[in-house]
Structure 1
Amino acid sequence: MKLAVNQMGLKGEINIPSDKSISHRSIMFGAIANGTTTIKNFLRGDDCLSTLKAFQDLGVKIEDDGDIITVHGTGFSGLKAAENAINVGNSGTTIRLITGILAGTTFTTELFGDSSIAKRPMNRVLLPINQMGAECSGHDDTEFPPLTIKGTNHLQPIRYEMPVASAQVKSAILFAALQANGESVIIEKEKTRDHTEDMIRQFGGEITVSGKEIRINGPQQLSGQAVNVPGDISSAAFFLVAGLIIENSRIVLNNVGLNPTRTGILDVIEQMGGNLTIEETGDKENKAGKLTVETSALHGIEISGEIIPRLIDELPIIALLATQAQGTTVIRNAEELKVKETNRIDAVATELNKMGASIEPTEDGLIIHGKTTLHGATVTSYGDHRIGMMLQIAALLVKDGSVELEKSEAISVSYPTFFEDLSKLYQ
Structure 2
Amino acid sequence: MRYLYIKPSELKGKVIVPTSKSICHRAIICASLCDGISNIGNVDFSRDIEATCDAMENLGAEIQRGKNNLIVKGNSRIHVKNTSINCLQSGSTIRFLIPIAATIDEEIIFTGEGKLVKRPLDIYYDIFDSQKIYYKNFKGKLPLILKGKLKSGEYRVRGDVSSQFITGLLFALPRLNGDSTIYVTTPLESKPYVDITLDLLKKFGINVDEDGHGKYTVRGGQKYKSRDYYEVEGDFSQSAFWLIMGALGKGITCCGLKKDSLQGDKIVVDILRKMGVKIEWEKGGLVVSPARKIYSSTIDASQCPDLVPALAVLASVSCGTTEIKNAGRLRVKESDRLKAISMELNKIGGNVVEKEDGLIIAGREKLTGGEVNSWDDHRIAMALASVSSKCQNPMIIKGAECVKKSYPNFWKDFKNLGGNINERNMGK
How many pairs align? 407
Is residue 244 of structure 1 aligned with residue 243 of structure 2? no
Describe the SS at the equivalent of 1:278.
strand
Q: Residues 384 and 260 of structure 1: is their aligned pair in 2 closer, same or farther, counting only changes over 3 Å?
A: closer
Structure-1 separation of matches of 2:348 and 2:72: 46
Map 1:28-427 to 2 at 5 A. Answer: 28-75=29-76, 78-128=77-127, 130-131=129-130, 134-139=133-138, 142-152=139-149, 155-164=151-160, 166-180=162-176, 181-187=178-184, 189-190=188-189, 191-193=191-193, 194-213=195-214, 214-225=216-227, 226-246=229-249, 249-257=250-258, 258-279=261-282, 290-296=285-291, 297-304=293-300, 308-400=301-393, 402-426=394-418
Deviation at 1:156, TM superposition (A): 2.2
Does the 8 Å CA contact 1:264/1:310 hold for their aligned counterparts?
A: no
Deviation at 1:331, TM superposition (A): 0.9
Deviation at 1:383, TM superposition (A): 0.7
Does the 8 Å CA contact 2:196/2:263 hold for their aligned counterparts?
A: no
Q: Which amino acid aligns with 2:120?
A: P
Alignment match, 1:283: none
Does the 8 Å CA contact 2:163/2:188 hold for their aligned counterparts?
A: no
Q: Which has the higher contact order (CA 8 A, sep 6+)?
A: 2
Structure-2 separation of matches of 1:302 and 1:136: 43
Segment drifting more, 171-180 vs 266-275: 171-180
Deviation at 1:372, TM superposition (A): 4.1
TM score, norm. by length of structure 2: 0.90
Deviation at 1:263, TM superposition (A): 1.5
Segment drifting more, 200-209 vs 340-349: 200-209
Does the 8 Å CA contact 1:189/1:212 hold for their aligned counterparts?
A: no
Describe the SS at the equivalent of 1:342.
coil
Describe the SS at the equivalent of 1:3.
strand
Structure-2 separation of matches of 1:394 and 1:382: 17
Q: Residues 300 and 199 of structure 1: is their aligned pair in 2 closer, same or farther, counting only changes over 3 Å?
A: same
Does the 8 Å CA contact 2:60/2:75 hold for their aligned counterparts?
A: no
Q: Which amino acid aligns with 1:356?
A: G
Q: Residues 329 and 157 of structure 1: is their aligned pair in 2 closer, same or farther, counting only changes over 3 Å?
A: same
Describe the SS at the equivalent of 1:218.
coil
Deviation at 1:176, TM superposition (A): 2.7
Q: Residues 126 and 192 of structure 1: is their aligned pair in 2 closer, same or farther, counting only changes over 3 Å?
A: farther
Does the 8 Å CA contact 2:60/2:81 hold for their aligned counterparts?
A: yes
Q: Residues 58 and 120 of structure 1: is their aligned pair in 2 closer, same or farther, counting only changes over 3 Å?
A: same
Structure-2 separation of matches of 1:313 and 1:24: 16
Does the 8 Å CA contact 1:90/1:113 hold for their aligned counterparts?
A: yes
Describe the SS at the equivalent of 2:219.
strand
Does the 8 Å CA contact 1:263/1:310 hold for their aligned counterparts?
A: no
Does the 8 Å CA contact 1:3/1:392 hold for their aligned counterparts?
A: no
Q: Which amino acid aligns with 1:172?
A: G
Does the 8 Å CA contact 1:161/1:189 hold for their aligned counterparts?
A: no
Structure-2 separation of matches of 1:359 and 1:204: 47
Alignment match, 2:422: none
Describe the SS at the equivalent of 1:178.
helix
Does the 8 Å CA contact 1:157/1:177 hold for their aligned counterparts?
A: no
Identity of aligned pairs, percent? 29
Structure 2 stretches lacking a partner, 5+ long: 420-428
Structure-2 separation of matches of 1:204 and 1:376: 51
Q: Residues 309 and 14 of structure 1: is their aligned pair in 2 closer, same or farther, counting only changes over 3 Å?
A: same
Structure-2 separation of matches of 1:420 and 1:94: 26
Structure 1 stretches lacking a partner, 5+ long: 281-288
Does the 8 Å CA contact 1:111/1:145 hold for their aligned counterparts?
A: yes
Deviation at 1:244, TM superposition (A): 1.4
Deviation at 1:169, TM superposition (A): 1.4
Structure-1 separation of matches of 2:147 and 2:326: 35
Structure-2 separation of matches of 1:295 and 1:220: 51
Describe the superposition over 1:126-147 as per-residue Cα deviations: whole angstroms up to 9, x where unpaired. Answer: 32355456434422xx332111
Deviation at 1:362, TM superposition (A): 0.3
Describe the SS at the equivalent of 2:418.
coil
Does the 8 Å CA contact 2:374/2:399 hold for their aligned counterparts?
A: yes
TM score, norm. by length of structure 1: 0.90
Give 4+ residue runs of structure 1 displaced > 3 Å after superposition. Answer: 128-137
Structure-2 separation of matches of 1:301 and 1:105: 49
Q: Which amino acid aligns with 2:327?
A: A
Deviation at 1:66, TM superposition (A): 2.2
Describe the SS at the equivalent of 2:296.
coil
